[in-house]
Amino acid sequence: MKVKVRIAPSPTGNLHVGTAQAALYNWLFAKKNKGEFYLRIEDTDKERSTKESEENIIEALTWLDLRWDGPVVHSTDNQARYRELLEKLLNEKKVFYCHHAQGELEAERKSQEMAKLPPRHVCEHKYSERGGESGGIVRLAVNEKSDRVITFEDQVRGRVEFKQNLLGDFSVGRSIDDALYHFAVVVDDIDMEITHVLRGEDHISNTPKHILIYEALGLSIPVFAHLPLILAPDRSKMSKRHGDTAVTVFKKDYLPEALLNFLGAMSYTFSKELLTKEEMIEEFELSKVHKSGAVFNVDKLNWINSQYIRRLTSTEFKSLTGLKIPDSAVPLVTERLEKLSDVKNFDYLWQEPEYEKELLIWKDSRPEDVKNSLEESRKILEKTEDKEKVRKALDELGQKIGNRGLVYWPLRVAVTGKEKSPDPVEVVAALNREDVLKRIDVAINKL
């Protein structure tokens, strides 16, 4: 039996990092088992589904290079099939029409809430002629008198149990022509021959309902695995109120390989911290996915990203960022960068620095001393381009005038225009020497 898995995001918002993680684990599981990974757009909620959201989902998965097999599947293309199967179940009296008015159902729900009972609607229409009369909500007939415990072996969480009589006659269609989420998901999975349903833990309470639908249809039930959620620092499910959770927002700062590595390692203990997708495939086993959710640790993500940035070649880095800087200046940036958008802190590598004259002054030194120091540094830099010789000569200059800061501070500001930068000797070495001398002249003229 060929392994077939899918992710089925609803196009009601941008692709969430948690869904990206679920996509990664599905993808790893498929690759590990030489199976197939599909993308299905679960667009049964016509009011909230948008084309933009669908495009965002596709953009995000493409950027992460989580390629799916076959074309993108849309639930809305399967509506005739939902109707066909609902009719079949109606004929078999496994589903029925509930003729209770919205207000009655609402009142029932409220009184259950007051009595601290789980919300459920046990409908007497399923036992009467009325259940066969069309119109109204279509519900699955669930025997409320049964003391059955629905169980399944979750591949991540182990045995999971739910009492059937807590479910009530849950709805499967707003009408015969308008199947609801639970029914659509099950039918889509059946039609796509999905063998393993790997999805977020927030779906776990849906699973007993889905099992009952499979049983009503007389079809075999796939293997389930519920993946841990990505948590915010307060350990609640990470959502928009904790900041932007859309994968596409990460594009401006992170390399896709770094984000995938981070998401993969969040809920799985691999043999090392940094690993490629191929190495993840090699090690991946569903049963080793952590049971509890992990907090989204942005420092960890930044560190992983910095490691991937370091590995880029000059050509890769320049084409990624569009920067026009000398190759010699690339390591100066890549060895210090955590987020791609922080390249702006290195703007002195491709443009003249701008700063106020006062910034050149080291502590309480006099402007003429700063000027002298810069003139001496300039002489050194004119004489040699050898980094170590430059450093030695500048250190000697510092000793001679008895103030190291008076040498390095103005040089740093003259070359970078900033209070903080990598070692000025490194910056000088990365830049074109003529430009460096010109920048020193500009600084001297300011004083």
Q: Report the nearest approach of Zn ion to the CB of residue 97 (Å).
A: 9
CA proximity to 186, closest of 172, 171, 168: 172
- Residue 33 contacts by C-beta under 8 Å, 6 or more apart in sequence? 3
If the CB atoms of residues 122 and 204 are measured against Zn ion, the closer one turns out to be 122
CA proximity to 168, closest of 105, 104, 85: 105
On whether the CB atoms of residues 440 and 434 are closer than 8 A, the answer is no
If the CB atoms of residues 88 and 100 are measured against Zn ion, the closer one turns out to be 100
Q: Report the nearest approach of Zn ion to the CB of residue 112 (Å).
A: 14
If the CB atoms of residues 124 and 193 are measured against Zn ion, the closer one turns out to be 124
Which residues from 59-118 bind Zn ion, rule CB under 5 A? Answer: 98, 100
Stretch that binds Zn ion, among 120-128, 181-189, 317-325, 383-391 (CB under 5 A): 120-128
Which residues from 275-334 bind Zn ion, rule CB under 5 A? Answer: none
- State the number of binding residues for Zn ion (CB under 5 A): 3
Q: Is 357 annotated as a binding residue?
A: no
| E strands present in 221-338 | 223-227, 230-231, 294-295
If the CB atoms of residues 144 and 283 are measured against Zn ion, the closer one turns out to be 144
Is residue 431 a contact point for Zn ion (CB under 5 A)? no
Exposed / middle / buried, residue 330 (Cβ in 10 Å: 0-12, 13-18, 19+): buried
If the CB atoms of residues 99 and 418 are measured against Zn ion, the closer one turns out to be 99
**Helix axes 256-266 and 17-32, enclosed angle (nearest 10):** 80
Q: β-pairing, 223-227 with 196-200?
A: parallel
- Any idea what DSSP says for residue 364? T
Which residues from 144-203 bind Zn ion, rule CB under 5 A? Answer: none
**Helix axes 207-217 and 181-191, enclosed angle (nearest 10):** 60
Q: Report the nearest approach of Zn ion to the CB of residue 123 (Å).
A: 3
Backbone angles phi, psi at 5, to 5 degrees: -125, 170
Q: Report the nearest approach of Zn ion to the CB of residue 109 (Å).
A: 12
Is residue 123 a contact point for Zn ion (CB under 5 A)? yes
From CA 128, how far away is CA 218, in angstroms rounded? Answer: 24
Q: Report the nearest approach of Zn ion to the CB of residue 138 (Å).
A: 11
Q: Report the nearest approach of Zn ion to the CB of residue 104 (Å).
A: 8
If the CB atoms of residues 165 and 365 are measured against Zn ion, the closer one turns out to be 165
Residue ranges at the known binding site for ATP: 240
Report the interface residues with Zn ion, using CB under 5 A: 98, 100, 123
Residue ranges at the known binding site: 240
